[in-house]
Amino acid sequence: MTLPLIITICALILIAYVFDITSRHTKVPTVIFLLVIGWVLKQLIAVFDLQVVNLMPLLPIFGTLGLILIVLEGGLELEVNKQKKPLIKKAVLSALFPLIALATILSVSLHFFTGAKLIDCLINVVPFCVISSAIAIPSVQNLGRAKKEQVIYESSMSDIIGVVLFDFLINNEVINLGSFVHFGIELAIMLVVSLIASIGLAFLIKKIEHHVKLVPIMMMIVLIYAVAKAYHLPALLFILIFGLFLNNLDEFKQFSFIRYLKPKILDVEIHRFTRLVGEAAFLIRTIFFILFGYSIDINDLFDLQALPYSIGIFVCVLLVRLVQLKITKEKLLPMLFIAPRGLITIMLFLSIPIGAKLTLVNEPMVLQLIILSILVMMTGLVVNKEGKEIN
């Protein structure tokens, strides 16, 4: 049984790699292929009546690792300087206001239909309000550098703001002034921890001379994230700050400790580290979406009771995004359709406390919204030809 399993895993990852390469030409997001692979694998196992260990408990683990690596990969690609300041500001606002607007519209609507507590409604709808960087970033490789940077910033910030908001809601049964003060303290602590940890890890990358050092650094990053998460701190903020810090050491040359790190020499190791993060992100993302595809029940995909709600939510997503793009005077195509739901939606949905779960928000709705958003994004990218933009 061991050899067939090894052969299967290797074959699946290589097939996913081929899809990842060809997606640049077909403009079909790799995640579509991965979900299909997972579902087909499940059907083959059922047909041949094979005994397979239950892998579903691994889904949240791979999801967490994937989220860390994808945000880190995004941070390592982004430049922070005076020239990028308008882009960063616009991306943060583009992530924040649609998320807040969507969360408000959907939670009030859910409260009206179900009569549930408003805070429980908020907890249930936040997973639908977050753009999935795991799907958005790999899908825009063919776009120009400016739009690609915007998607990386916007989707990464959407992930972080969404997770922070979700954690804030589940950790505060009653929201009052004290809740916001406590949150402000947690945010300040995380910023200090992020800066200290980023400097310390950069020092270790430079100082360690053993031939194996980048994997231990990766483990330290995950450890810091997990410990911060255990104390209900906005841990994803550390991941983004660390990535930005490593990729923008030249912007901090005026500080003596940065000069001690010798940025020009360190850049070689940072380049190696960036390659490692990219490779690891591809592997973890591939495994996660194949596992998720494996977990799909085809009946959930065509659940007619959930479908109207799924379509209604996605229409709200597009309308809010349309308003946002009009306000910021952005081109509508293809940006209007680059609002996929995916890994982060699944992770937050699985994290909803049992006491706050609402029956109306269920697995079929999550699956349908994810598939619908990916298909619409794919259509938008295929229709959008090079150099063609619509106001």
The answer to whether 243 touches 72, Cβ cutoff 8 Å, is yes
The answer to whether 69 touches 284, Cβ cutoff 8 Å, is yes
Kindly state the tokens that stand for 34.
């991965």
Q: At what angle do helices 263-295 and 177-207 cross, to 10 degrees?
A: 120
Please give the residue that has the higher pLDDT: either 192 or 383. 192
Amino acid at 268: V
Residue 387 pLDDT exceeds 50? no
Architecture of domain 2-383: Up-down Bundle (1.20)
Output the pLDDT for position 215: 92
The answer to whether 336 touches 318, Cβ cutoff 8 Å, is yes
Closest CA to 377 of 138, 54, 177: 138
The continuous run of DSSP H or E covering 288 comes out as: helix 263-295
Using CA atoms, how far apart are residues 183 and 181, in angstroms rounded to an integer? 5
Mean pLDDT lowest among 46-50, 77-81, 282-286, 381-385: 381-385
Mean per-residue pLDDT of the chain = 87
The answer to whether 336 touches 321, Cβ cutoff 8 Å, is yes
The answer to whether 53 touches 2, Cβ cutoff 8 Å, is no
pLDDT tens sequence across 230-287: 988 888 889 989 998 988 887 777 777 777 777 777 888 899 999 999 999 999 999 9
Using CA atoms, how far apart are residues 372 and 303, in angstroms rounded to an integer? 13
Task: Read off the pLDDT band of 1 (50, 70, 90).
Answer: low
DSSP sequence for 289-348:
HHHHHHH--HHHHT-TTTHHHHHHHHHHHHHHHHHHHHHTT---TTGGG-----HHHHHH
Average pLDDT (9-17) is 91
Output the pLDDT for position 225: 95
Residue 140 pLDDT exceeds 90? no
DSSP sequence for 227-254:
HHHHTT--HHHHHHHHHHHHHTGGGGTT
The answer to whether 338 touches 140, Cβ cutoff 8 Å, is yes
Looking from the CA of 337 toward its CB, the CA atoms found within 13 Å total 19
Average pLDDT (352-363) is 92
pLDDT tens sequence across 113-133: 889 999 999 999 999 999 998
Using CA atoms, how far apart are residues 14 and 139, in angstroms rounded to an integer? 19
Residue 226 pLDDT exceeds 90? yes
Using CA atoms, how far apart are residues 22 and 25, in angstroms rounded to an integer? 5
> Is 308 buried (19+), middle (13-18) or exposed (0-12) by CB count in 10 A?
exposed
DSSP sequence for 100-111:
HHHHHHHHHHHH
Closest CA to 343 of 78, 135, 79: 135
Average pLDDT (85-106) is 88
Average pLDDT (302-328) is 93
CB within 8 Å of 142: residues ≥ 6 apart = 24, 27, 381
Please give the residue that has the higher pLDDT: either 121 or 331. 121
- Length of the chain equals 391
For the chain, the domains span 2-383
Mean pLDDT lowest among 64-68, 246-250, 304-308: 246-250
